[in-house]
């Protein structure tokens, strides 16, 4: 969208905005027929992940003062190491922690990563046969589904996977993941 918008003059932008402003909005209470298909997910909390998954990556998120730990199951690690697309049965899982703060700034450990303070939530992506069949093509990530879990391991209410699907959609050449390179280098 930004690439297209960058080509427009100020007058074209104003004309486009005026056109969209003139259109009637959706009627009150109207919901997309696709909402149930993107709101549901096949992903479940992977009990015992610390024993059965490989921790393969850590990322600091300075803007949110968070540190995130990335885990993958054996199917995901094996495929990434082999240089093949991640198969049905692959699962990636993330622990999201607030960073320990000192005078409002994240404390950094000897490894260069923020020191984890409090577990905030978990995110997950996994795939299985048929999981993508009901998701509209414009959002479908093959058979990937996504989920957000609260610290009690239950799915967070009100979260649907449409945002995840849209964000990961352009990553089709790297199995819809942001961390495939790190996954391939997992030890």
pLDDT for residue 172: 94
**Are the C-beta atoms of residues 5 and 13 closer than 8 Å to each other?**
yes
Task: Give the tens place of pLDDT for each residue, 45-94.
Answer: 999 999 999 999 999 999 999 999 999 999 999 999 999 999 999 999 99
Look at 40 and 107; give whichever has higher pLDDT.
107
How many DSSP H helices and E strands does the chain contain?
A: 7, 7
Task: Give the tens place of pLDDT for each residue, 70-82.
Answer: 999 999 999 999 9
HSE of 58 in the Cβ direction (CA atoms, 13 Å)? 14
Q: Among 3.30.70.2190, 3.40.50.150, 3.50.70.20, 3.40.1400.10, name the CATH number for the domain at 28-184.
A: 3.50.70.20
pLDDT for residue 13: 80
**Are the C-beta atoms of residues 132 and 159 closer than 8 Å to each other?**
no
Question: CA 163 → CA 142, 146, 159, 168, distances in Å?
Answer: 15, 9, 9, 9
Query: Predicted confidence band at 2 (pLDDT cuts at 50, 70, 90)?
Result: low
Q: What are the sequence ranges of the domains in the chain?
A: 28-184
The mean pLDDT of the chain is 91
**Taking the CB of residue 115, how many other CB atoms lie within 10 A of it?**
16
pLDDT for residue 33: 64
Mean pLDDT, range 19-28, rounded to an integer: 75
pLDDT for residue 61: 96
């Amino acid at each position: 969208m930004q690439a297209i918008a960058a080509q427009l003059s100020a007058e074209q932008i104003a004309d486009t905005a005026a056109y969209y402003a003139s259109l009637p909005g959706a009627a009150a209470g109207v919901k997309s027929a696709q909402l149930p298909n993107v709101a549901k997910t096949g992903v479940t909390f992977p009990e015992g992940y610390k024993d059965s998954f490989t921790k393969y990556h850590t990322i600091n998120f300075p803007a949110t003062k968070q540190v995130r730990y990335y885990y993958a199951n054996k199917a995901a690690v094996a495929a990434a190491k082999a240089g093949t697309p991640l198969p049905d049965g692959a699962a990636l899982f993330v622990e999201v922690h607030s960073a320990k703060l000192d005078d409002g700034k994240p404390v950094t450990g000897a490894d260069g990563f923020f020191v984890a303070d409090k577990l905030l939530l978990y995110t997950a992506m996994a795939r299985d046969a048929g999981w993508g069949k009901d998701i509209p093509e414009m959002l479908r990530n093959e058979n990937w589904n996504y989920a957000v879990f609260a610290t009690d391991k239950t799915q967070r209410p009100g979260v649907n996977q449409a945002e995840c699907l849209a964000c990961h959609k352009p990553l089709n050449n790297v199995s819809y993941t942001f961390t495939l390179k790190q996954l391939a280098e997992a030890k």
